[in-house]
Amino acid sequence: MSIAAGTATTVARRRAWSGAQGLTSPGIVIPIVVIAAATIVAIFGPLLAPYDPDLPDLSQFFVGPAGGHLLGYDGQGRDVLSRLLVGARTSMIGPLAVTVLCMSTGSLLAVAAAWRGGLLDTVLSSGLDILFAFPGILLAVLSAAVFGAGLIAPVLALSVAYTPYVARVLRGAALRERAQQYVAALEVQGASGVAICFRHLLPNMAGLIVAQATTLFGYAMVDLAAISYLGLGVQPPTADWGVMVAENQQGIIQGYPIPSLAAGICIVLVVVAFNILGERLYERSETRR
């Protein structure tokens, strides 16, 4: 039996996957950059736009990029780039409203159901299950039909449609937290249910809540863009990415795809950024346990 000198060998042939990427990994940084850019544009759009987004140049319908108009003119002679920059605002505000409404209602319902358990939990869960049956877009279309077009009705409708999903996911996390021994210790100390829920349960679910909110923003954006595309949301002549996709459709057939596609690409970029970020944040929140 020979005694060989020890040599360092790596047992695994693949790199150890730590289960979550650091905050500086490309999977997180790139989406954040995209989202930050979109947010800045949404806030400062009108200031950044080189031209008036609503002022048509009647001699230039569907003209390609030329002379200072980086993306050309749209079907009504307006500068496409300016409309994109200004349109970011309405395209992002709607999803923001949906996200805020859903996450707040959803978290409250989830925590209440998890804390009380019993009848409240059963009733809430069943009620939410019923709402689950309605797809968001359908409800939004119906609400537009009932209340008229505009941003408010679809936003409310989508909030109603998404809340059950959020509540369901958060309820699972809330139940897990509630079962932890520190919650029992606080109960024995005499802390009130409300205090425990707000000071302990929710903060410990923060990672998951942020991840959910991020993903939700992306979905809401697609749905609202679709609603606007259908003419039931933001109304023309207001600049809005969804509206722009619709009103410039003719351009694609006529050989000028840029106005319509550019708006579509903006939507896709931001939505994908939110989805990827949401997934990465979710992974991190799960592996942190």
Partner 1 sequence: MAEPILEVKGLRKEFGPLVAVDDVSFSLPEGGSLAIVGESGSGKTTVAKMIVGLERPTAGVIRACGADRSLPPRSTRERRRRGREVQIVFQDPYTSLDPRQTGEATIDEVLRLHRGWDRDRRRERIKQLADLVGLDDRQMRALPRSLSGGQRQRVAIARALAAEPRVLILDESVAALDVSIQAQVLNLLADIHDETQVSYLCISHDLAVVRQLTQETVVMWRGRVVERGTTAQVLDDPQDDYTRRLRASVPRPGWKPPGHTVAPAAV
Partner 2 sequence: MSPSASLLEVESLTVRLPIEGGMREVLHGVSLEIRPGESVGLVGESGSGKSMTARAIDRILPPGAAVSGQIRFGGRDVMSLGGADLKKFRGEVAMIFQDPRAHTNPVRRIGDFMTEALCTNQGVSKQDASRRAVALLKDVGIEDGERRLHQYPHELSGGLLQRVMIATALLTKPRLLLADEPTTALDVTTQAEVVGILDTLRSDLGLAMLFITHNLELAAAICDRTIVMYAGQVVEVRQSNRLHDEPLHPYTAALTAARPSIERTAPRLLAIAGRPLSAFEAPETECAFAPRCPYAQDVCRRARPSLVELDGGMTRCVRASDLVGHMELSAHG
Residue 10 binding partner 2, by CB under 8 A = yes
The whole-angstrom separation of Cα 245 and Cα 235 is: 13
- Which CB atom, from 8 or from 58, has the smaller least distance to partner 2? 8
* Cis status of the peptide bond prior to 95, with omega within 30 of 0: no
The stretch among 12-20, 56-64, 151-159, 268-276 that binds partner 2 (CB under 8 A) is 12-20
Residue 209-248 contact track with partner 1, rule CB under 8 A, x = bound? ----------------------------------------
The stretch among 24-32, 62-70, 150-158, 198-206 that binds partner 1 (CB under 8 A) is 198-206
Residue 190 binding partner 2, by CB under 8 A = no
**Chain centroid to CA 115: how far?**
28
* Cis status of the peptide bond prior to 46, with omega within 30 of 0: no
- Structure tokens given for 215: 């993903």
Residue 24 binding partner 2, by CB under 8 A = no
- Structure tokens given for 18: 């730590």
Residues of span 87-116 touching partner 1 by CB under 8 A? none
First-residue to last-residue Cα distance in the chain = 47
Residue 168 binding partner 1, by CB under 8 A = no
Q: Would you say the C-alpha torsion 159, 162, 167, 173 has a positive or negative sign?
A: negative
Smallest separation (angstroms) from partner 1 to the CB of 180: 5
Beta-carbon contacts of residue 277 (< 8 Å; ≥ 6 apart): 28, 31, 32, 35, 214
The stretch among 3-11, 138-146, 259-267, 273-281 that binds partner 2 (CB under 8 A) is 3-11
Count of positions on this chain that bind partner 1 (CB under 8 A): 16
Binding positions for partner 2, rule: CB under 8 A: 1, 3-4, 6-12, 14-18
